[in-house]
A and B are shown apart, each in its own frame.
Chain A
Amino acid sequence: MSLETILNEAKQSILDIDQEKATAIAQQALDEGLDPVKVLTDGYSVGIREIGELFSRGEVFLPEMILASEAMKAAVEILNSALEDKASKTVGKMVFATVEGDVHDIGKGIALALIQTQGVEVIDLGRDVPVEKIIEEAEKHGANVIGTSALLTTTMPNQEKLEAELRKRGMREKYKTIIGGAPCTQRWADKIGADAYAEDAAEGVTKVLELLSLST
C-alpha cells in the first residue's frame, strides 16, 4: 500500500469510527517501515480534526466523538511503540490542566491527544486543578510548557492567577504558557501575559510546537 493510501485509510478509519481498521492500518504502516510520526500527523490527526470540526457544527455527536478518540488512541498506542525507542522523537514536555472550579475536560482531552501525536510528552493533570498543584506538577516533571483550559468566564481568572503565581515565585521565564477554552481569546492571553492562545485543538498543536522551539 502506498504512503498516500495508508494516510488516507488512517484518516478514514477515524472518520468511520472504526477502531479495528485504525489499529490494522497502524500496524501495516509499521510493517511497511513508514514513518510513524508522519502517519499520525498526516493520517489519524487529520481524521480527528475533521471529526472535531463536524462536532463543533452539530453534525457529529459526543458518543461518536468519544469513540473516534478511542480509535485514535488505539492506533497511537501501536505507533508509539515504534517511537518509544527513538528518544529524539520526544520534542518536549507539557503539563495540561483544566483550571480550578472547572470540570470541563472534553476539549482538553482532544487537544491532549493531538499534541501527543507530535512527539510531545503530555502529562494530563485532569480537571479542577488548583494553580499550586499545576506548578508543583510542572516542577516535578520538568515541563517546558504549561497548558490550561477554562470553559467558564468565572474560572478564567485562574489562568491569570497562574501567571501571577509564576511571576511571584520567580519562575515565569522557566515555562512557556498556553491557554484555551471557549471564553478565552488572544486578547485575554495578552492581558494576563500568557505566551500563547489556541482557539481549538488543531491550533493548540501548532502553538505548542512553536513554544517548544522557543524554549529549547
Chain B
Amino acid sequence: MDKYFTRMGDGSGVYMSAEEIKEDILQGVKDAADRGKIPELTAEEMDYIFEIVTMPGNIVGVERGREVVNTSDSGSCKMTYHANIAMERSTSVLVSEKVLGADSVDIGNMDYSYKAVKQIVHNETPVMELAQLNTVMPVLYGSMPNLGLYTKPDGPVDNWSELLPMAKIDEARAAQEEAVEHAVRDMVFVAGEMYAAGADGINLDTCGASGDADYLASLLATEKIKEKYPNLGVEFGAAGEFVLGMHGKLEYEGTRIAGLYPHKQVKLAEKAGANIFGPVVNTNTSKSFPWNLARTVTFIKACSEVAEIPLHINVGMGVGGVPMTEIPPVDAVTRADKALIEIGKADGL
C-alpha cells in the first residue's frame, strides 16, 4: 500500500496511507462542523484537500490568478529575532517589501503590547515615518491589546487570574471590566500617534488573548479609532478559534462574546468598523496535518461565506493548520496556504 509523507500537528514527519489521510480529513471536517455548528465541506472539497496533501512536490502553490496578498504581523522584528540579523526596523520593512515581496507588513516593538508601547511611542513614530517615506506597500503599526498587563503587579487592576481560583467571580469580572477601559484608552492613543506619523493602519494583534474582556476592549478600541481617524485602517486579528470566556457575560451590540467561533467573531469586528479580520484556527498537536488542515478549512470557509470585510488568515506556528513548531515546515505551510485560498476563499494571509 502506498504511503504519503505528511506531518503530525507537532511537526514530526509521518507516513500515512490514502485511507488514513481521507479518514483524518473527514474527522477534521466533522470536528469543526460539530464545534462551530457550521456546514461540513463537500465531498469534492475533501477530495481536493486530499489531493493537496498528497501532491508530490515539497512545496505547492495556488493556481495562476488566484494569488492573494500577504502580510506579516510583527514583521519588522522577525528578521532580527528569528534570523539573528541585526537590522533596524525600517530597513527590515524595506527588505520585506523589496526583497521578500511582502504586500504589507506591520512595525512593532519587541515589547509587543499597547500598554508598553504608549510609554515609548515617541521613539516608535520616527521608525514609522522613515518606513512610510521609502515604501509603496501599506505599513501598519501592530501590537497586542494584552489585557493581562493591566493587572497587579504590572498594572492598576486586581488580578483576575488570582481571583478566579479563589472563586471570587464578581471581583474577577469587575477587574476585567475596569481593565477594558485602560486598554481601550491606550490602543486609541497609540493609533492616534501612528496616524500622525503616517501609518496606513493599526494592527490589533491577538484580540481576545486574555479572554472575552480582551476581545471587547479591541472592539471598543476599533470603534473609537474609526470614529477619530476614519482613514486609518484597522486590522483585527483574533487570538484563538473561539473567544475564551474569562468573564463569560460580556456582550457587544447584544451578542455575548465568549465562545464565539470565527464566523461569528467576524460579524462583531465588522460592526466595530474593522477593515480586515484575521481569523485563527488552532492546531491540535496530537492530530495529523490532514486532520488539522481539513478542520481549519471548514472553519475558514464558513467564515468567508458570511464575511463582508477581507479575511487575512493567521497561518503560522500552531495556527491555520500549520504544525506547532518554531520554524513551520514549508511543505505544510504551502499546502495550508493553497487549501485556505482555493477552498476556504481566503482574501489574504
> A residues engaging B (CB < 8 A)?
57-64, 66-67, 70, 103, 105-106, 109, 153, 182-188, 199
Contacts and interface: CB of A to CB of B under 8 A. Distances in A.
Contacts of B243: 58
Contacts, number: 66
B88 interface: no
A103 B154 CA distance: 15
A61 B245 contact: yes
A132 B242 CA distance: 37
Interface string B230-250: 000000000000111111100
B329 to A, nearest CB: 15
Contacts of A70: 167
Contacts of B259: 58-59, 61
A62 B244 CA distance: 8
User: What DSSP secondary structure best describes chain B's contact surface?
Assistant: loop
Contacts of B285: 182-185
Interface string B145-161: 00000000000000001
Interface string B291-323: 000000000000000000000000000000000
Given A58-B242, A63-B164, A186-B286, 16 more contacts: A58-B259, A61-B246, A61-B259, A62-B164, A63-B173, A63-B245, A64-B245, A66-B167, A66-B169, A67-B167, A153-B324, A182-B285, A183-B324, A185-B8, A185-B285, A188-B10
B278 interface: no
A174 B206 CA distance: 44
Contact of A185 (B10, B161, B169, B242): B10
Nearest to A56: B35
Interface of B: 8-10, 12, 35, 161, 164-165, 167, 169, 172-173, 211-212, 242-248, 258-261, 285-286, 324, 326
Nearest to B243: A58
User: Closest 10 A-B residue pairs measured CB to CB?
Assistant: A61-B245, A61-B248, A58-B242, A58-B259, A63-B169, A63-B248, A61-B258, A70-B167, A185-B286, A62-B246
A154 to B, nearest CB: 10
Contacts of B161: 103
A95 B178 CA distance: 37
B211 A62 contact: yes
B61 to A, nearest CB: 29
Nearest to A182: B285
